[in-house]
Amino acid sequence: MAPAQSGGPDQMSRAVLEYLYHHLFLPPKLPTADDASQKNETALLIFVQQSLERFLPGRRDEKTVKASISMLKSLRASRTPQGCLKDTNVRNVLQGLSAQAPVAVLHITEQNAGVLIGRKPDSVRFEMFELSPTNEAVTSTRGRLIRRFPATAVEIPRADFDTEAFRVVVAKTLTKMSQQTVRETKQAAKKSKKEQEQEESRETTDPKIVTELFACMLRGCGKEVVCKGICKNTRDEVMSKDSKFPWRRSSLWLLLRVALQLSMTRLSGDGHNTYS
């Protein structure tokens, strides 16, 4: 797995620091165009991982924090330099789940979805959820959006999950989903072709390819379950000023917050306080 890079905020470029400030704290004055890049996302991942590593010494819930650090390392290891998944990397992440590292999370970038994978004694649970809400949901809501995670959950028997054939299929499926767009999942109103194409490029993707189709595939050898989730009062903005792509809060940042809160809450009896 990719090692954490050394260096704190004092060694980051001004552009990266501004990116972290805008997306983590959502100040009143924000950029008016998309500032997403793999350099910025990698910096965000490293920043959160290093923050957890600095938080670790002397913790009574050391096991929970170490599992969370391992989860972030595997997330970094699953990604290509372009930010998508690579099937061999995903297979390694799935194979690496253990008692010491029981949780992994994957970013299905082109489907606007996250997948949280948790190893249990007799089964493995897959939890799927949307990341960025639609532009309409953000602009039509005053204050914070109340959202529940996950959207769907399916448990697979360990005996099936531990087979190489199963992990290969899951890895290839999620990798393809992370790399390919499906036009029908763009929620654009019926307008002229030019207007619709412009709106589609600005709108977020409906994550149903992951939350519905992938979940349905998993149910073929498992069962859908109702698990204890979380409600988050999320803040977001859609900022655009003559730009093709508007500024939106990082979906990766939401993925990290949801994955950390869900995993810490479950792994530690005092999980909510650990996450906070």
**pLDDT, tens only, 131-166:** 998 888 888 877 788 999 999 999 999 999 999 999
Q: State the average pLDDT over residues 170-188.
A: 88
- Check if the beta carbon of residue 256 is closer than 8 Å to that of residue 52: no
What is the C-alpha separation between 238 and 33, in angstroms, rounded?
Answer: 9
- How much is the pLDDT for 18? 96
- How much is the pLDDT for 1? 45
Letter for the amino acid at 115?
Answer: V
Model-level pTM greater than 0.85? Answer: yes
Which residues are paired to 248 by β-bridges? 238
- How much is the pLDDT for 210? 98
- How much is the pLDDT for 237? 84
- How much is the pLDDT for 87? 97
> Per-residue pLDDT tens for 24-41?
999 999 999 999 999 999
Q: Is the pLDDT of residue 4 over 60?
A: no
Strand pairing class (247-248; 238-239):
antiparallel
Q: State the average pLDDT over residues 44-70.
A: 92
Distances (CA, A) of 202 to 85, 92, 198, 226, 238: 23, 34, 7, 33, 10
Q: How confident is the prediction for the chain on average, in pLDDT? A: 89
What is the C-alpha separation between 276 and 261, in angstroms, rounded?
Answer: 8
Which three-class secondary structure state does DSSP give residue 249?
A: coil
Dihedral through CA 264, CA 268, CA 272, CA 276, nearest 10?
-60
Q: State the average pLDDT over residues 83-94.
A: 97
- How much is the pLDDT for 6? 47
Letter for the amino acid at 205?
Answer: T
The number of residues making up the chain comes to 276
Distances (CA, A) of 143 to 21, 41, 49, 248: 20, 26, 29, 16
User: Which tokens belong to 218?
Assistant: 């998993």
Backbone angles phi, psi at 148, to 5 degrees: -115, 140
User: Which tokens belong to 226?
Assistant: 């109702």
- How much is the pLDDT for 141? 79
Which three-class secondary structure state does DSSP give residue 86?
A: coil
> Per-residue pLDDT tens for 217-272?
999 999 999 999 999 988 888 887 777 889 999 999 999 999 999 999 999 876 55
What is the C-alpha separation between 192 and 160, in angstroms, rounded?
Answer: 48
- How much is the pLDDT for 188? 53
Q: State the average pLDDT over residues 50-73.
A: 92
Q: State the average pLDDT over residues 92-118.
A: 97
